[in-house]
């Protein structure tokens, strides 16, 4: 009886992986309402994200929120972020959408999550996100696009997800455009302007 239960448990655990592995999509376009994403099930990472900063001064609480899986798309999962140098890096930042808990919750989807170097995520990248919100306080519309960069030499984790090599971030406001490039490693400075492309 125990052998049968164990066999059923194993089948239930690996069946979703087997089903997804036969149909993994290179690009899935998702409109989450507050952001748009092109996601790669093959890489288990977002390729492109676009959003408009909605709440530069919002105060909804993110207490108790954590990233969640989406049934219809094969994404990264908690194991990909376990015991390594990568944070669950929001692409569309939670702080840009803290008007309501419902909006905040949408940012915690694994669709909106990248394997981002923890030092980059917690320092220079975070400071540039704060700049987006400052700009949104001064301009009626601030549009942000992020392109995640992958190559043949991108690191693939044993758990299945592929680590981006870097990120292009474009911020548009008024008649101005700022474009930045960050390698996905520890920043050499907290000054995000050093990553601005000329």
Locate the domains of the chain by residue range. 25-195
Kindly state the DSSP code that residue 5 receives in the 8-state scheme.
H
Give the pLDDT confidence score for residue 198 in this predicted structure: 81
Q: Helix (H, G, I), strand (E, B), or coil: what is residue 170?
A: strand
Please, is 29 exposed, middle or buried when counting C-beta atoms within 10 Å of its C-beta (0-12, 13-18, 19+)?
exposed
Helix residue ranges, H only, 78-171: 101-106, 118-122, 124-138
Within the chain, which residues score under 70 in pLDDT?
1-22
First to last CA, the chain: 67
Residue 127's pLDDT is what? 98
Whole-angstrom distance, CA of residue 150 vs CA of residue 171: 21
d(C-alpha 24, C-alpha 95), whole Å = 31
The Cα–Cα gap between 39 and 29 comes to 6
Spatial distance between the Cα atoms of 149 and 116, rounded to a whole number of angstroms: 12
CATH number for the domain whose boundaries are 25-195: 3.40.570.10
CB 112 within 8 A of CB 102: no
118: CB partners within 8 A, 6+ apart: 85, 86, 87
Please list, in sequence order, all residues whose beta carbon lies within 8 angstroms of the beta carbon of residue 6, skipping any fewer than 6 positions away.
none
The pLDDT tens digits for 99-153 are 999 999 999 999 999 999 999 999 999 999 999 999 999 999 999 999 999 999 9
Give, for 2, the enclosing helix (H) or strand (E). Answer: helix 2-21
CB 120 within 8 A of CB 185: yes
pLDDT of residue 184: 98
């Amino acid at each position: 009886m125990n052998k049968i239960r164990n066999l059923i448990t194993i089948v239930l655990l690996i069946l979703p992986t087997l089903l997804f592995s036969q149909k993994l999509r290179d690009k899935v376009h998702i409109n989450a309402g507050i952001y748009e994403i092109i996601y790669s099930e093959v890489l288990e990472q977002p390729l492109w994200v676009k959003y408009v900063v909605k709440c530069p001064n919002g105060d909804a609480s993110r207490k108790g929120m954590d990233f969640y899986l989406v049934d219809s798309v094969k994404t990264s999962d908690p194991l990909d972020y376990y015991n390594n140098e990568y944070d669950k890096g929001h692409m569309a930042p939670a702080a840009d959408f803290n008007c309501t808990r419902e909006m905040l919750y949408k940012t915690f989807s694994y669709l909106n999550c990248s394997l981002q170097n923890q030092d980059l995520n917690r320092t220079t990248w975070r400071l540039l996100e704060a700049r987006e919100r400052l700009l949104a306080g001064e301009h009626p519309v601030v549009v942000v696009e992020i392109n995640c960069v992958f190559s043949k030499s991108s690191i693939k984790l044993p758990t299945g997800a592929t680590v981006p090599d870097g990120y292009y971030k474009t911020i548009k406001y008024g008649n101005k455009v700022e474009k930045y490039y960050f390698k996905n490693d520890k920043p050499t400075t907290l000054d995000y302007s050093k990553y601005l492309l000329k």
